[in-house]
Chains A and B, each alone.
Chain A
Amino acid sequence: MSFTIEQILRGDVPRVGHRPPTAADPSLVPISLRVNGQEYHLQLEPRVSLLDALREFIGLTGTKKGCNQGACGACTVLINGERVNSCLTFAVMHQGQEITTIEGLGQPDDLHPLQAAFIEHDGYQCGYCTPGQICSAVAMLKEVAQGDASHVTSDLTATQIELTDEEIRERMSGNVCRCGAYLGIVDSIRDVYEQQKGQ
């Protein structure tokens, strides 16, 4: 059985664990989310996490649910360009913000440089953590460019960061990969960092 996004948005689709919304249901609140440049108007309970709103109600299943407690990073998305765990925040809190998921970074015929690098360097095996890894890495490279320090940055007063492999590993420690593709992940990120630096 498959459904169109329009059907999902209208609430025509039965979902496990969620009552079908009706206009009269007082537990529902209108929530507008802007995801990948598109507006979505939903009726949700306030307890719906941003992660569940993206996957179950908007139908953007690229973002993954791993631990659902902020430990694995599979649910990482960008809010106004900053990486966050979408499982640990309520959708209702993010109206009017610019949310970017893996679908908004690139598409099969138009890959983001990090997506291309993950393919080139075997930055995954099963791929489940990959959308979170890539969203996280996109924001991480921006943090480095703006001079943000990390736990392994020796000189906190320096505003130019040299992105060593040690820095990449520390800055990506919020994204866990059970397949252990870490070497490929570090290679992918270093590759894109070098490309950007060369530009």
Chain B
Amino acid sequence: MRAFTYTRAADEQTALSAVIRNPEAKFIGGGTNLVDLMREEVERPNEVVDINGLPFSQIEELPDGGVRLGALARNSHTANHLLVRQRYPVLSQAILSAASPQLRNLATNAGNLLQRTRCYYFYDITAPCNKREPGSGCAAIHGVNRIHAILGTSEQCIATHPSDMAVALAALDAVVQVQGCEGTRNIPIEAFHRLPGDTPAQDTNLGHEELITGIHLPALPFGTNSLYLKVRDRPSYAFALVSVAAVLELEGEQVKNVRLALGGVAHKPWRAHTAEQALLGKPATAENFRQAAEAELQTAIAYEHNAFKIELAKRTIVRALLTLTERHLA
């Protein structure tokens, strides 16, 4: 690991000044991903700005029935908060399916959004990687790409976003609250992460001189009928091959409201708008769920080792929706 200067920020202004002064400085929250990347020399900040002293650890109920998650609230605290467990079970389940208890105790909500891909070639500093070193090429496209993306890829990058939490946030229409030197702004979760296009080095639309302060979960009365279904190589402590965050509201046997987001398939949490549109007003049947899944995966592209993800994604969508339908009818 390269040497760096350590700064502990006492407040937002100090934190922002540090990154404005130094374009190579990085914030550290839990550090579970950053420390690892620094050890591998994928990340080489010459200054690390510790923001753990900032007052962003609260989880609070909002007057409109929504919930605000502090940027520095730990993943474990967030997943186990009763407001989250009761109102947004899909989010609790997503967080609890990720990493290990030890990691979730360190990892922060903002850090979870900003974690970087686990593409092997991104981590291997001897391999070409457009994300790590723009213009060097992509070793994954013709390499071992079993864990890679099938939706929204580009010729530059086929990496996936590794977060489970962010997939649930996509289904919940969460909003990321950001502080910059010129004020605050709100970034809808769908506009927060990016597709790779020609600039895969840029994972998100967050600026270097911006700090995440919180995540707003809008009120969602039907959020209680929600589910995170994660398919992985072993039943615990593994990244998703495919995951589905689903929220379903039925009126009788018809779909009144549905939210679907996929993980493990794209460079960002993949909100399945096509499938959602196809389901609105339709009877909640396995056949309709399958058709909606087919429509969503229409544009999927398989690489040498990950073709299985296309069928897996369809079946995971169907199973998630059938499970929620059964729960509703029970």
Contacts known (A46-B6, A149-B96, A174-B101); A88 close to B106, Cβ less than 8 A:
yes
Task: List which A117-155 residues lie within 8 A (CB) of chain B.
Answer: 136, 139-140, 143, 147-151, 153
Least CB distance, B123 to chain A, in whole angstroms: 10
Beta-carbon contact of A90 and B35 below 8 Å: yes
Interchain CA distance A69-B28 in the complex, whole Å? 17
Beta-carbon contact of A49 and B35 below 8 Å: yes
Interface size on B (CB < 8 Å)? Answer: 37
Contacts known (A136-B102, A148-B76, A149-B79); A92 close to B39, Cβ less than 8 A:
no
Contacts known (A83-B102, A174-B237); A46 close to B5, Cβ less than 8 A:
yes
Interchain CA distance A173-B5 in the complex, whole Å? 35
Please tell me the size bucket of the interface on A.
35 or more
Interchain CA distance A87-B100 in the complex, whole Å? 14
Interchain CA distance A76-B102 in the complex, whole Å? 7
Chain A residue numbers with a CB within 8 Å of B101 are 83, 136, 139-140, 143, 171, 174
Interchain CA distance A169-B82 in the complex, whole Å? 24
Beta-carbon contact of A85 and B102 below 8 Å: yes
Task: List which A65-84 residues lie within 8 A (CB) of chain B.
Answer: 68-70, 73, 76, 82-84
Beta-carbon contact of B93 and A84 below 8 Å: no
Indicate whether A27 reaches chain B with its CB closer than 8 angstroms: yes
Indicate whether B92 reaches chain A with its CB closer than 8 angstroms: yes
Beta-carbon contact of B32 and A70 below 8 Å: yes
Beta-carbon contact of A84 and B36 below 8 Å: no
Interchain CA distance A82-B50 in the complex, whole Å? 20
Sample of 8 A–B contacts (CB below 8 Å): A29-B6, A49-B35, A68-B39, A73-B102, A82-B105, A83-B102, A84-B106, A90-B28
Binding site for B on A (CB under 8 A): 27, 29, 45-47, 49, 68-70, 73, 76, 82-85, 87-90, 92-93, 136, 139-140, 143, 147-151, 153, 156-157, 159, 169-171, 173-175
Binding site for A on B (CB under 8 A): 1-6, 28, 30-32, 35-36, 38-39, 48, 50, 52, 76, 79-80, 82, 85-86, 89, 92-93, 96-97, 99-103, 105-106, 236-237
6 more contacts with CB within 8 A, not counting A88-B103, A93-B50, A153-B96, are A46-B5, A82-B76, A149-B79, A151-B97, A156-B93, A170-B236
